[in-house]
């Protein structure tokens, strides 16, 4: 997220420096003609790329489980269900966590 606040020129220069470091002095890198970078964090429709535990997450040990709890009707039947990587207790941040959470909610529907 900090990188998104840096000017394009700085990111470009640092990227070239890094590439040069790994490729060694025997390789001459041409100057980039342009740069395209993602801005997942500043995009108001995304606000990040995937969920992660922060230092304060320890204060809320059930937060992922709470996020995945369905909304029930008065008879206790699940009506609105939530899947997605952020609701997976162990494989959050990943595609496999996302798909596992989909199976979890599908099983919830089947068993109700």
Residues at the interface with ligand FAD (CB under 6 A): 40, 49-50, 84-85, 93-96, 98
User: In whole angstroms, how close is the CB of 101 to ligand FAD at the nearest point?
Assistant: 7
Nearer to ligand FAD, 21 or 45 (CB): 45
Nearer to ligand FAD, 77 or 94 (CB): 94
User: In whole angstroms, how close is the CB of 45 to ligand FAD at the nearest point?
Assistant: 7
Residue 22: count of CB within 10 angstroms of its CB? 7
User: In whole angstroms, how close is the CB of 69 to ligand FAD at the nearest point?
Assistant: 16
Nearer to ligand FAD, 5 or 49 (CB): 49
């Amino acid at each position: 997220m900090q990188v998104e606040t840096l000017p394009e020129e700085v990111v470009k220069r640092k990227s070239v420096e890094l590439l040069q470091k790994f490729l060694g002095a025997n390789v001459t890198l041409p100057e980039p003609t342009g740069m395209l970078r993602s801005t997942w964090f500043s995009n108001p429709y995304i606000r990040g790329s995937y969920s992660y535990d922060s230092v304060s997450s320890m204060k809320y040990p059930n937060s992922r489980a709470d996020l995945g709890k369905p909304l029930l009707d008065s008879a206790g039947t699940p009506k609105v269900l939530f899947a997605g990587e952020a609701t997976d207790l162990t494989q959050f941040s990943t595609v496999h966590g996302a798909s596992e959470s989909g199976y979890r909610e599908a099983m919830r529907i089947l068993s109700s």
